[in-house]
Structure 1
Amino acid sequence: MKVLVVGNGGREHTLAWKLLESPQVELCICVPGNGGTALLSKCQNIPVNVEDIEKIAQICQEKSIDLVVVGPEIPLALGITDRLQQQGIKVFGPTQEGAKIESSKSWAKTLMAEAGIAIAKGETFTDASAAKAYITRQGAPIVVKADTLAAGKGVIVAQTIEEAQNAVDTLMAEGFSHLVVEECLIGEEVSVLALTDGISVRSLLPAQDHKRIGEGDTGPNTGGMGVYAPAPIATPALLQRIQTEILEPTVKALRDRGIDYRGVLYAGLMITPQGEAIVLEYNCRFGDPETQAILPLLKTPLDEVLLACVEQRLGEFQPLEWHPGSAVCVVMASGGYPGSYEKGKAITGIEQAEGLGVTVFQAGTRLNGDRLVTDGGRVLGVTALGQNFNEAITLVYQGVEQIDFEGQYYRRDIGHQVR
């Protein structure tokens, strides 16, 4: 089987790496891929922008691709699945209409409200003055979000009314014309990624991401600075409730709207002190960096379960199998991220790190001749497995210490909740 993975981040390196574990996968093409996918055996990079859907469709035809796995949200929101399906190509990822569950927070909130799913209370605004008046009435803390895609950075948790009103100005100045303002929920966040064929739903292991740039969960939000799985806060009993009260009703609500959703349904949840799960937002794709911690623990061949989703036979598929133990991923970022940063810094020490037993998933990297250099904000995701979290955390930081590039930054407290 020939597989094409769309994207160039750490998530896509992980997907290609996992797919290539299967003896059924003879070739994995990454569009455009990165320095890590370029070095994988039986993997080929083709430098095409993820938004160039027509070119990707042409590659699929020329290379006789059997399955396309779409990593990022942007091509899904642009309708890559719809276009490839026109050619009879199997695609793991929702259609453009289904991708609205991430590309429009207000659309998703309406869908969930109609399905009776617990969500944060809030309103959508196109006028800054109206948004600020609402903030003044509601008080702080309060959350201000871009209503559309923002690469994981369009959410501002404001502790004061002034900070929230400034957030309105900031996001609108950045070109976000629609904003969602909602209550600030208290509790612990958890990511539950589920696979669905539009009828059945199978959850992956729950994970807990670290969004803030600073240790102790301080500073601005990022795309994610580290993650661990399985998150203990999501007990088997709670996961069962999430399945029946959130995931399954969401898939049914999509189906009731005539949306045939085959892909990842990623629920970002707040677990309240009372043990209730409330949906903060939905994503329509694998999480990054959640994928880097979840997939190394997956024992079931990834290609088989993705095909079962695409071919709408997930309900007949065997329960997913998992390796025992814990996984921790630490993101190594360029200095200055999530703001401005420099590229082209030489990366050393990956081979030494992997010699210790960690796996290094590359994100913002590229090959410059035979030199690996930085090419993005989040550069590497270093993942370690262990019999327990303490073992995995110790090993992952031993691996991180072997790696070096100018200006590197990483949080030293990933997994602090479970130590």
Structure 2
Amino acid sequence: MAQDTAQEAAGTPAAPARVLLPLIVPAVAVGVGASLLYLLVSGLAERLQRVLWGTLPEALGIGPYSAAWIMIMLTATGVAVGLVVWKAPGHAGPDPATMGLAAPPMPPRVLPGLLVAAALMLAGGPSLGPENPVIAVNVGLAFWLGRKLLPRLPGGVWSSLAEAATIGALFGTPVAAALVISEALAGKPLKGALWDNVFAPLAAAAVGSVTATLVAHPTFDLHLPEPGRPHWVDLLAVLVVAPLAALLGMCAVRAFPHVHRAFGRLGHPMLALPLGGVALGLLGVLGGRLTLFKGLSEVEELARDPGGWSAGQFAAMTVVKLAALVVAASCGFRGGRIFPSVFIGTAFGLCAHALVPAVDPALGVAAGVLGLLLAITRQGWLSLFTAAVLVASPTILTLLCVATLPAWLLVTGRPQMQLKEDGTSVR
């Protein structure tokens, strides 16, 4: 009764079940399809990576992560992706610097080139993740097929289902998608209750995450030793590390439009992308093999031995990976910015632990990732969720909620690591 009264007062009656039930079948179909496409792209990229960075250099008698091979591979990846962007129909989609997690539906003819460019990037070593291009492809396919098969459903439904399903598959849980959807709906006029609006996307995300879990068993948990009962030093640690990580991320955000403008002056993908590959090769030589690729496997390697590197080495990896993220996102490689940001935040947090042993490594990692993602993505819930799942602990979650506040004050209202069509930063 109280709920009904509140809904009547708000003027937003709940959607009846008969409206929501027909959305379940499309949600399930999109959830399975989006998850399988993500797994297919990731699997093919991993196999190609093993060939390019293992089988091929061994056959040639070259060290797979020698300076020469890193330069060869990153430059060749820039050439290969440049050819795809130049010659593929639709030029493999719009400028990736203008794209975020929410993607407008693209014509079907554009999607194959975008998939090929993303797979080559993932295998070749640039510091970007699969999230943006895979979401864009899933949105395009779902929109196109959905409008043909069920034209009565609004086109926006298919886009929201595909976005949620892909995020669920990427993180292996629908919670991340639910948080992203809720944040996207904030401030928008809703028809019905919030849960009526997230019902179908959440169903798609749940199916997508279950499909990914059953097929590939993804996990973000780094299995770092869980800290015990929190102390004042732990609270102080997260209150320092998270804002510092956010400030570091804002340095990259500030540099982003300038670096993008510099590559844009070259005027052709066969100039910008190969030159970007050369720059990434030099950074890879400087930072070592752990600063290559999207960063998820490399994060796990760092977490297995938090004391295996010095503070200086962690600091070098942090700076090099951050520079590689800016270059890769600026010169035209098709990829997302969340996965490499997780590596940067992890290296930054472990650097804090190496400098001040009183900083628990799990707390340092979680706070570092939180601050970096807040600066790079400007999505509070996603940043908090990602940091929390890396070191699953109720204690850490409580401290992270506190650390979010000063870090958010530093980034809110400031430029994001995403550009408008005219090259200015999104705020």
Fold match, TM over 0.5? no
Q: Which has the higher helix share?
A: 2
Q: Which has the higher strand share?
A: 1
Could you say which structure has the greater relative contact order, defined with CA pairs below 8 angstroms and 6 or more residues apart?
2
How does the TM-score come out when normalised to structure 2? 0.28
